[in-house]
Amino acid sequence: MKQSRRSLRLKGYDYSQAGAYFVTICTHNRECLFGGVLDGHMRLNDAGRSIQAAWETLPHFYPHAVLDAVVVMPNHVHGIIILVGADFKLAPTGICYGLPELIRAVKTFSSRRINELRGTPGAIVWQRNYFERVIRNDNEMHRIREYIVNNPAQWELDRENPNNPYAGKYEPEIADW
């Protein structure tokens, strides 16, 4: 029997269309691979610098992608990607390269380098899926930018922090963003 996964995407939404997207990508099993938070500041290790580099090179491969705020945390990444224009290059399947392709690229490029650094070729680095939110207005964009910038200072309370006794037990209130 084939197992199906519940999609996190907005039903019927075209993620290749121009717009701003808030993205969170988590490591497999929430493993802290990218460094640590010290005094409210993220200190990246080599793996963390690899994911930062993979993120920052996206516009070189995908000119329709504009990067905004980003933070690499010990076991996840938050960022804003803005897709601009309407002339997206078609994949061989005829599907426009949109947000899912950008996230796939970040995961692939960074996984290869992180596994080289760790000496674990082929190991799973990332969770299978990712969280995204379509940013709907300037006020929401401002609040999300603040959230991203302040994320390291909030690490002790972060639901992704394995040392937080409430980790994974609540969902962040983003409905008002």
Q: Report domain extents, the chain.
A: 19-157
Average pLDDT over residues 142-158: 94
Q: What confidence score (pLDDT) does residue 171 get?
A: 47
For residues 70 and 106, the answer to whether their CB atoms sit within 8 Å is no
- The whole-angstrom separation of Cα 5 and Cα 13 is 18
Residue 175 has pLDDT above 50, yes or no: no
Q: Is pLDDT larger for residue 12 or for residue 9?
A: 12
Q: What confidence score (pLDDT) does residue 90 get?
A: 53
Residue 22 has pLDDT above 50, yes or no: yes
Tokens of 102: 């950008």
**16: region left, alpha or beta (phi > 0 left; psi from -120 to 50 alpha):** alpha
The listed CATH number (3.40.50.20, 3.40.50.300, 3.40.50.2000, 3.30.70.1290) that belongs to domain 19-157: 3.30.70.1290
Q: What confidence score (pLDDT) does residue 70 get?
A: 98
**CB neighbours of residue 122 within 10 Å:** 7
- The whole-angstrom separation of Cα 33 and Cα 30 is 9
Q: What confidence score (pLDDT) does residue 75 get?
A: 96
Q: What confidence score (pLDDT) does residue 18 get?
A: 86
% the chain with pLDDT above 70: 81
Residue 154 has pLDDT above 70, yes or no: yes
Q: Is pLDDT larger for residue 130 or for residue 13?
A: 130
What pLDDT digit, counting tens, does each position of 112-135 carry?
Answer: 999 999 999 999 999 999 999 999
